[in-house]
Amino acid sequence: MWWEKKGHLEVNDENHLAILGRDACALAKEYGTPLYVYDKQRIIDNFSAIRSAFQKCSDNFRIHYAMKANSNPEVLKILCREGAYIDAVSPYEAKIAMDAGYPREKIMFTGTSVSDSDLKMLVDDGIFINIDSLSQIKRLRKFGGEGLNVSLRWNPGMGAGHHSHTITAGKYIKFGIPESKLSSAVDLIKESGFNLVGLHQHIGSGWLADDVGVFLETVDRTIGAAVKIQDKIGHDLEFIDFGGGPGIPYCAKDKEFPLDVYAKGICSKVASSPLRNAQIAVEPGRYIVGDAGVLLLEINTVEDKNVPVIGVNGGFNTLARPSFYGSYHEMVVCNCVASKDEKGFMVAGNLCESGDVFSVNREILRKLPVPSEGDVLAVLDAGAYGYSMASTYNSRPKPREVLVDGKGVRVVREEAW
Ligand code: LLP
């Protein structure tokens, strides 16, 4: 199978799905469904892969884990031990990260439509703020004292992402400060008595090899903007942050993300610019946790309606991505991974909405081995933006989460309202 990864996701001798050597059917039986299962080793391996790619070309970089992808405290602790920094999008995320052991100096807040109460909480907690608007600078004066270190998120004018909802730079985009306002923002920071120490971009989420070229063009633009800012303020910026976005393959035709091209591109562009002393920062989320998580669901209905339907005990309250973005997620019948007896099904969730289907598109059926009621269905690559986007819609609780490692399986969050 295209998605098999030795040690992490495999098909065992019984033709069952195994996650870090654990039979997915047995996990579902023991811990119930819906169930998010995370593979600790895979999280560490993914983080290490990014770190190694940068180590090859820089000795001055840091990796902020974008915790919006998966903020389970145990996941945060694993990455804290690996040396990650944090990208937080709300003051509450910053608090969760601190509770998980991150020192405040390793957390950077990048928010949008940021309220006064958000700003107050952040300043009170001593969290570094990456500013998204001129309004934010003006309002920060009420809470932030003279000499407060801040950075600016700008919009480099072009973006990329797996869906229009996840493109975060370019025209008609709410994020960041546009080029035309950048100089005024820098002036305003100075007038406010704040100290500008960094420039940040995040062009979007879930782009692959084909978009690395666009990304590297924005790297050039951001370096160019940072150089102009340095000239204007008369001192060097401490860091330059290129955001997150590296995608993962969700289906057979998606290519692996070219980490080396990406890291080398960033490092060589910075090294050959006047910013060579600035620390490089990146903020990956999906790449670290995406393929480390699997969602297990029980198949409760197998029936030919107008179309053949597999009904499962979760919906877009459990995993929003297929309904929200039309995202493809590979699905596997856990007790019968490979079979010649396949048929096209609509894989339907249990919410009272016709759009609540996991098979992406109501007209396109998903080829799966014909299951029996009571079988377990695994939705792969659910570790990023899975649980973190889950809701209690239809008054159902959010699912339990377990972490699998070499020693065993641990519940890392109970089913919760
Ligand atoms: N930095 C900033 C400022 C961000 O806004 C994001 C994601 C990241 C970093 C991390 O991006 P990543 O490396 O994970 O692509 N819910 C969507 C994704 C939304 C991403 C929002 N911002 C999805 O399920 O595809």
The tens digit of pLDDT for each residue in 106-161 reads: 999 999 999 999 999 999 999 999 999 999 999 999 998 889 999 999 999 999 99
Can you tell me which atom of ligand 1 is nearest the CA of 243?
1
pTM over 0.85: yes
13: number of Cβ within 10 Å: 6
121: number of Cβ within 10 Å: 18
Domain ranges of the chain: 9-39+290-413, 40-288
**Pair 189, 152: CB distance under 8 Å:** yes
39: number of Cβ within 10 Å: 26
**Pair 184, 231: CB distance under 8 Å:** no
Tokens linked to 223: 């370096």
Going from the Cα of 343 to the center of ligand 1, the distance in angstroms, rounded, reads 35
Please give the C-alpha separations between residue 59 and each of 52, 278, 281, in angstroms, as whole numbers.
11, 11, 12
Considering the domain delimited by 40-288, tell me its CATH architecture. Alpha-Beta Barrel (3.20)
Coarse DSSP helix, strand, coil percentages of the chain, rounded to the nearest 5 percent: 35, 25, 40
Report the pLDDT value the prediction gives residue 361, as an integer from 0 to 100: 67
Mean pLDDT along residues 90-109: 98
**Pair 68, 79: CB distance under 8 Å:** no
With the C-alpha atoms ordered 8, 12, 17, 23, is the resulting torsion angle positive or negative? negative
Going from the Cα of 2 to the center of ligand 1, the distance in angstroms, rounded, reads 25
Residue 364 has pLDDT above 90, yes or no: no
Best CA proximity match to 65, nearest among 44, 86, 36: 86
Per DSSP, helices labelled H in 199-251 are 212-233
Can you tell me which atom of ligand 1 is nearest the CA of 324?
24
Residue 95 has pLDDT above 90, yes or no: yes
Can you tell me which atom of ligand 1 is nearest the CA of 207?
15
Residue 415 has pLDDT above 90, yes or no: yes
Nearest protein CA to atom 6 of ligand 1, as residue: 244
Report the pLDDT value the prediction gives residue 275, as an integer from 0 to 100: 94
Nearest protein CA to atom 16 of ligand 1, as residue: 385
Please state the length of the chain: 417
Q: Which class in CATH covers the domain with range 9-39+290-413?
A: mainly beta
| Residue 222 Cβ contacting ligand 1 at under 6 Å | no
Residue 16 has pLDDT above 90, yes or no: yes
Of the pLDDT bands very low, low, confident and very high (cuts 50, 70, 90), residue 14 is: very high
| Residue 93 Cβ contacting ligand 1 at under 6 Å | no
- Report pLDDT digits (tens) over 301-328: 999 999 999 999 999 999 999 999 999 9
- Report pLDDT digits (tens) over 261-287: 999 999 999 999 999 889 999 999 999
Rg of the chain, C-alpha, whole Å: 22
Phi, psi of 30 (to 5 degrees): -75, -40
Q: In the chain, count of helices (H) and strands (E)?
A: 11, 21
Strand residues in 143-278 grouped as ranges (E): 149-155, 177-178, 195-200, 239-241
Strand 35-39 and strand 293-304: the pairing is antiparallel
Query: Got the DSSP string for 25-39?
Result: HHHHHHH-SSEEEEE
Report the pLDDT value the prediction gives residue 84, as an integer from 0 to 100: 98
Share of the chain above pLDDT 90, in %: 96
What is the pLDDT of the chain when averaged over all its residues? Answer: 96
Of the pLDDT bands very low, low, confident and very high (cuts 50, 70, 90), residue 362 is: low
Tokens linked to 236: 């060097």
Strand 61-66 and strand 279-282: the pairing is parallel
Going from the Cα of 345 to the center of ligand 1, the distance in angstroms, rounded, reads 31
| Residue 383 Cβ contacting ligand 1 at under 6 Å | no
Going from the Cα of 98 to the center of ligand 1, the distance in angstroms, rounded, reads 21
Mean pLDDT along residues 30-57: 98
Tokens linked to 351: 């919410």
Known active-site residue 352: yes
